[in-house]
């Protein structure tokens, strides 16, 4: 059985979904996944960016429905892409070849579900 790296990410779309007519069609957009860590007593956000790729007609339907800031859930194969940048340096990006996708109800257009007043309200 071949090896594969499956991943499920939940994050915010970094840009609107874009469709390109290459072969059977390719829809792409970026997703930012952030988590907070406490460093020297201060909270700091660490963000990892993923490029989501959806091949075929299904991805085409997402254009206009996945907008920058929307909360999305993506499941698929994790791949590392590398290329040589214009300055000659090696560039890399994390890509998810999506097999399942959902726009979650809490998007930038909806109010937040809850707010936390300070660290004392956190359960950890």
Least confident of 17-31, 40-54, 75-89, 104-118: 104-118
Query: Is-contact 27 64, C-beta < 8 A?
Result: no
Residue 108 has pLDDT above 90, yes or no: no
d(CA 32, CA 103): 14
38-95 pLDDT, tens per residue?
A: 888 888 889 999 999 998 888 888 888 899 999 999 999 999 999 898 999 999 989 9
Residue-range domains of the chain with CATH? 6-108 (2.40.50.140)
In DSSP terms, 9 is beta-bridged to 74
| Cα distance between residue 78 and residue 102, in whole Å | 17
């Amino acid at each position: 059985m071949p090896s594969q790296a499956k991943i499920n990410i939940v994050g915010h779309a970094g840009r609107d979904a874009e469709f390109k007519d290459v072969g059977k069609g390719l829809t792409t957009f970026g997703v930012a996944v952030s988590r907070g860590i406490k460093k020297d007593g201060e909270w700091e956000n660490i963000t990892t960016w993923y490029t989501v790729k959806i091949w075929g007609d299904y991805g085409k339907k997402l254009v206009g429905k996945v907008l920058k800031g929307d909360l999305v859930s993506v499941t698929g194969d994790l791949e590392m892409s590398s290329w040589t940048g214009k300055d000659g340096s090696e560039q890399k990006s994390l890509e998810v070849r999506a097999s399942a996708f959902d726009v979650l109800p809490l998007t930038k257009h909806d109010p937040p579900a809850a707010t936390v007043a300070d660290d004392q309200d956190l359960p950890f």
